[in-house]
């Protein structure tokens, strides 16, 4: 939209403001109704016009101030006077009253819309609730096979959750899985649900996991670290528990039996009480947690076998063997016993 100075030749005192500068203009009126606040340049021009008696001729408006004039006209702080070819200042009090009434009307409309929204989506809600789900089996548990089907069912449970999610993550989570998890969990927290997670230290050793933890804790999630063997677990609203039913996690059991749920929740709460809370000063990756090789060494120093270390840290034996190999090179140890002895001495000396 261009700003025409007069209806006749430009910058002549006898002209009138262009129709585009009137409050009836579609673009400017809409802007004023939607925003209603002058920016710094418009505010400064308005004060200058007041200092000059509350009136400025169209012909006297500098090119650099024409955007500010359009802004003030759209808000209603300037009124075009077509008879005198000038703009007249309008009381901010009257503008405030008008815009306040418009905003209250808009707020009322939005509240009514919010009240009607469940009814508007009722047909979709009923269709979602009627969506086929895995059939119930005896014993209060449903077994789902395949990572895709498991993730899909968990997504449904996250979407249906209303109060609380409890989870335990013993090992590292793939970066792709974390991308999905952060989207789901942020939406969950925005709905007002609580989220508590217990991790083993190894699960929080990679940058994607640290980024996930930082984002969800910033939004209210609670995370604790437990340097003990734990099982992968998810509990939704204390009514559905999901546990792994195979070594490769390709099968999951979805448990709904109340007694089973109560037992699993109690086990989670015991682990939660023993776990270490993390905060700004203890967030993994910021100096509080030991590296994976150091954790392996500390457990070897306690006399644990390679297999026991792998189980304790949620790592594969191959990964533990690789850490042990690096530790042997670092300490010059020939046997596990010697490495454990040297690690114990190094720790005591530190």
User: Could you report the average pLDDT of every consecutive run of 10 residues in the chain (350 residues)?
Assistant: 35 41 39 61 90 89 90 89 87 83 86 84 79 62 89 88 92 84 89 91 82 89 87 93 89 92 93 74 44 74 78 76 83 78 55
CB 98 within 8 A of CB 76: yes
CB 214 within 8 A of CB 185: no
Instruction: Provide CB contacts within 8 A for 136, sequence distance 6+.
Output: 142, 256
Angstrom distance (rounded) from CA 96 to CA 75? 10
* pLDDT at residue number 197: 94
Which DSSP helix (H) or strand (E) runs through 110? helix 92-120
Angstrom distance (rounded) from CA 51 to CA 100? 26
* pLDDT at residue number 194: 92
Nearest 5 degrees, angle CA 42-CA 44-CA 47? 110
* pLDDT at residue number 163: 92
How buried is residue 272: exposed, middle or buried, by Cβ count under 10 Å (0-12/13-18/19+)?
A: middle
Report DSSP state, residue 65. Answer: G
* pLDDT at residue number 338: 77
Q: Could you count the other beta carbons within 10 Å of the beta carbon of residue 249?
A: 12
First-to-last C-alpha distance (Å) of the chain: 73
Cα dihedral sign, 118-121-122-127: negative
Query: What is the Cα Rg of the chain in Å?
Result: 33
Angstrom distance (rounded) from CA 318 to CA 329? 17
Instruction: Provide CB contacts within 8 A for 113, sequence distance 6+.
Output: none
**What are the residues facing 169 on neighbouring strands?**
199
Model-level pTM?
A: 0.51
* pLDDT at residue number 349: 38
Beta strands in the chain (DSSP E): 55-57, 78-81, 86-89, 141-145, 164-169, 194-199, 222-225, 233-236, 240-244, 251-255, 276-277
């Amino acid at each position: 939209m261009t700003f025409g100075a007069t209806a006749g030749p430009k910058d002549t005192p006898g002209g009138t403001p262009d129709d585009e500068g009137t409050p009836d203009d579609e673009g400017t009126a809409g802007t004023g109704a939607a925003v209603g606040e002058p920016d710094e340049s418009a505010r400064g021009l308005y004060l200058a016009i007041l200092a000059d008696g509350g009136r400025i001729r169209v012909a006297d408006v500098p090119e650099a101030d024409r955007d500010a004039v359009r802004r003030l006209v759209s808000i209603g702080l300037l009124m075009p006077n077509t008879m005198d070819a000038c703009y007249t200042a309008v009381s901010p009090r009257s503008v405030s009253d008008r815009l306040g009434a418009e905003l209250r009307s808009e707020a009322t409309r939005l509240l009514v819309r919010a009240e009607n929204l469940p009814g508007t989506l009722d047909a979709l809600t009923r269709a979602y609730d009627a969506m086929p789900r895995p059939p119930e089996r005896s014993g209060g548990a449903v077994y789902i096979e395949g990572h895709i089907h498991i993730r899909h069912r968990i997504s449904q449970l996250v979407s249906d959750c209303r109060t609380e999610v409890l989870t335990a993550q013993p090992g590292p989570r793939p970066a792709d899985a974390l991308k999905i998890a952060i989207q789901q969990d942020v939406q969950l927290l925005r709905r007002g649900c609580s989220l508590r997670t217990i991790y083993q230290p190894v699960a929080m050793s990679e940058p994607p996991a640290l980024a996930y933890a930082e984002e969800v804790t910033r939004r209210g999630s609670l995370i604790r670290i437990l340097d003990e063997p734990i099982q992968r677990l998810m509990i939704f609203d204390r009514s559905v528990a999901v546990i792994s039913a195979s070594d490769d996690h390709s099968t999951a059991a979805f448990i709904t039996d109340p007694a089973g749920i109560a037992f699993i929740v109690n086990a989670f709460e015991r682990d939660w009480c023993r776990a270490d809370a993390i905060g700004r000063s203890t967030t993994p990756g910021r100096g509080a947690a030991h590296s994976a090789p150091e954790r392996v060494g500390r457990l070897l120093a306690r006399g644990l076998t390679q297999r026991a270390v792998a189980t304790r840290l949620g790592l594969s034996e191959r990964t533990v063997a690789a850490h042990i190999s690096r530790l042997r090179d670092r300490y010059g140890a020939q046997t596990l016993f010697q490495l454990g002895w040297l690690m114990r001495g190094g720790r005591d000396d530190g």
